[in-house]
């Protein structure tokens, strides 16, 4: 690929950071910087998506050929408490970014989530109706629609739970488990909540293929195995030689912890395989790359 300029929003995030870093191997990445640090060595621009003038200035400064939109209010519990901010970032800002992309002829790849599904069965495809249970999922679903309405030539990638190596202080699913186990703290993991976890390198590979191509619309990008949180934690314990007794099984149905998530949002990623020639790496290959501790601030 010619070295195109790619603006990555949310480049300080768990997925956004690792994606920005990895995309830089094949593209000139400009990291959208909000509050937290972005990967070192990358060009960066200040970007607050709640401000139209900040976005316009970031576009002027970065002059991108493409945008990879990772910024979001991605904490489901916080979205429930702050629905207005969730709507502002996940819907309104995404719509504005899409409007600018179309007007400027810039390729847009925007991220969404498996949590747009209600989760009452397994194996969700792009054709299945999305009926989100949470404010987070609802605002991401509205954000998907806004992006595709404003910029029909864009691609929206619904990623599954991110595991493996992340970026910044917040860990990926496998990292937060690993950090607790290494500290000798028990982890309480649902046995009745299923996802298809995916690692950042596999997501980056899908994004690179979308940047090279012109495919539009929804793409599911999930990992090769459908596992519960408890299965994932047991896998982390085994691969990092941590005590399995610290992994405590709990049932979401019987638990009062946080907002209730959908039970099964495992994704079918056949469209990405067929149209992008993409394949996810094995689950263990991602898990083993988890950081042993968070990046220093």
Ligand X SMILES: NC(=O)c1ccc[n+]([C@@H]2O[C@H](COP(=O)([O-])OP(=O)(O)OC[C@H]3O[C@@H](n4cnc5c(N)ncnc54)[C@H](OP(=O)(O)O)[C@@H]3O)[C@@H](O)[C@H]2O)c1
Shortest CB 224 distance to ligand X, Å? 16
CA 11 to chain centre: 11
Cβ contacts of residue 161 below 8 Å, gap of 6+? 114, 173, 195, 196, 197, 198
- 201 is written with which tokens? 């390198």
SS (H, E, C) 177-226: HHHHHHCCCCEEEECCCEECCEEHHHHHHHHHHHHHCCCCEEEEECCCCC
Residue span 69-108 as binding mask against ligand X, x where in contact by CB under 6 A, dash where not: -xxx-x--------------x-------------------
> Does position 36 bind ligand X by CB under 6 A?
yes
Do 88 and 112 touch, CB atoms closer than 8 A? Answer: no
In the complex with ligand X, the residue whose CB is nearer, 237 or 267, is 267
**Partners of residue 169 on adjacent β-strands:** none
- 25 is written with which tokens? 């191997």
Candidate list 64, 132, 137, 170; residue touching ligand X; CB under 6 A:
170
> Does position 181 bind ligand X by CB under 6 A?
no
In the complex with ligand X, the residue whose CB is nearer, 110 or 244, is 110
Shortest CB 190 distance to ligand X, Å? 15
Shortest CB 245 distance to ligand X, Å? 26
In the complex with ligand X, the residue whose CB is nearer, 65 or 175, is 175
Total of residues contacting ligand X (CB under 6 A): 26
- Residue with nearest beta carbon to ligand X: 13
Candidate list 16, 164, 171, 222; residue touching ligand X; CB under 6 A:
16
> Does position 35 bind ligand X by CB under 6 A?
yes
Residue 26: CB atoms within 10 A of its CB come to: 16
Cβ contacts of residue 44 below 8 Å, gap of 6+? 11, 30, 31, 32, 33, 38
Shortest CB 264 distance to ligand X, Å? 15
> Does position 13 bind ligand X by CB under 6 A?
yes
Upper half-sphere CA count for residue 60 (Cβ side, 13 Å): 6
Residues that bind ligand X (CB under 6 A): 9-10, 12-16, 34-36, 47-50, 70-72, 74, 89, 111, 113, 140, 159, 161-162, 170
């Amino acid at each position: 690929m010619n070295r195109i300029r790619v603006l990555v929003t949310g480049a300080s995030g768990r997925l956004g950071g690792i994606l920005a870093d990895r995309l830089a191997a094949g593209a000139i990445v400009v990291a959208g910087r909000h509050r937290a640090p972005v990967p070192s060595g990358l060009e960066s621009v200040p970007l607050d998506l709640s401000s139209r003038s900040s976005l316009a200035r970031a576009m002027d400064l970065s002059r991108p050929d493409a945008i990879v939109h990772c910024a979001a209010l991605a904490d489901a519990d916080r979205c429930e408490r702050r629905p207005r901010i969730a709507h502002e970032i996940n819907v309104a800002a995404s719509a504005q970014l899409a409007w600018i992309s179309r007007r400027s002829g810039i390729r847009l790849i925007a991220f969404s989530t498996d949590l747009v599904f209600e989760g009452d069965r397994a194996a969700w495809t792009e054709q299945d109706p999305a009926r989100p249970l949470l404010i987070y999922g609802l605002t991401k679903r509205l954000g998907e629609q806004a992006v595709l309405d404003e910029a029909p030539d864009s691609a929206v990638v619904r990623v599954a739970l991110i595991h493996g190596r992340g970026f910044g202080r917040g860990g990926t699913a496998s990292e937060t488990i690993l950090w607790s186990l290494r500290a000798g703290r028990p982890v309480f993991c649902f046995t009745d909540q299923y996802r298809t976890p995916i690692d950042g390198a596999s997501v980056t590979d899908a994004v690179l293929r979308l940047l090279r191509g012109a495919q539009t619309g929804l793409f599911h990008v999930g990992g090769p195995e459908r596992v519960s949180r408890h299965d994932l934690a047991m896998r982390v314990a085994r691969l990092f030689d941590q005590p399995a007794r610290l992994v405590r099984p709990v049932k979401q149905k019987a638990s009062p912890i946080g907002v209730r998530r959908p039970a099964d949002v495992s994704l079918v990623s056949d469209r990405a395989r067929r149209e992008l020639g993409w394949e996810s790496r094995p689950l263990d290959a991602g898990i083993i790359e988890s950081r042993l501790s968070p990046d220093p601030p």
